[in-house]
Amino acid sequence: MLFLKNSGLTVSILDPAADRDKLGSRYCSGGYIWQVEDDVHGSLLSGPFFPDSTTPFDGQGAPEVFEIALGADVAGIGDEVCVLGVGMVRRESPVKPFHVRDNPTVTRFVDWHVEQETNEVVMSASQSFRDYSIHILRRIRLKGRELVSHTEVSNTGERRLPLRWFAHPFFPVMETLCRFSLESCTPSNPAFEMDTEGFVKRKSGYDWSKGFFQPLQLSFGFPLRVEQQHPKLGTVNVSCDFPLAWLPIWGNVRTFSFEPYYHTNLEQGMKTAWSIRYKF
């Protein structure tokens, strides 16, 4: 583990080489925020199985995902695809379309160059696959009670690069969960509802051991702010410094997560950058 510490918080970040027992095909292995500890309140983030042992697929903390796998559109069973931020993944499932949830085997992890300073960790990596070539920079910075996860992606290859990314922060369970800055509503479903003040809430009659995934209806294309309710802190404020492309929510008996998506296409030679900020 790598650690960022100040007078109030300790942030643990997975070492992409030393902590591979916690890494798999799903989450970006560079800049993976594993936990945030408060000096008074203890662990502030959760996970699908937290605080019990976890799996590389389920994870915990505040991981991030590059969802598009390069080459997946033509890969047959046994072929390898390139997952940004992860490495080479073997296609083992006939389920279409390809998704890493069905294909957990990483045949070769990407190598990250890691630099650590007092208040931040910077990780960078380059990946090449067929006509694609990508450079990724991840910067995790702790300043006071604010934790910033910043990402830059450069298309250094010969083809347009499709990019689909989302953050997957896991928070402790509460009845009242969060409120979004963008006008939104929750479609009819058995698990979640929205109250008159715009807060997403859990329905008490639902069997949360099964978990539930629900896309929201809201105004896309704008930056997003989230008031996330927290049993120890009252509120965690989250800012997404990118135009929101999609927003599902998910929860089970142990945790709740909102999943803000960023979509773009990078032409040859182009670069894009975005951040998600947590104020604990």
| pLDDT tens for each residue of the chain, 280 residues long | 999 999 999 999 999 999 999 999 999 999 999 999 999 999 999 999 999 988 999 999 999 999 999 999 999 999 999 999 999 999 999 999 999 999 999 999 999 999 999 899 999 999 999 999 999 999 999 999 999 999 999 999 999 999 999 999 999 999 999 999 999 989 999 999 999 999 999 999 999 999 999 999 999 999 999 999 999 999 999 999 999 999 999 999 999 999 999 999 999 999 999 999 999 9
Characterise 21 by phi-psi region: left (phi > 0), alpha (psi -120 to 50), beta (else): alpha
Whats the size of the chain, residue-wise? 280
Rounded Cα distance between 70 and 80, Å, is: 9
Q: Which sequence spans correspond to the domains of the chain?
A: 2-168+264-279, 174-245
Rounded Cα distance between 170 and 74, Å, is: 33
Determine contact, residues 200/259, Cβ cutoff 8 Å: no
pTM, rounded to two decimals? 0.97
Tell me the three state secondary structure of residue 143.
Answer: strand
Rounded Cα distance between 92 and 76, Å, is: 8
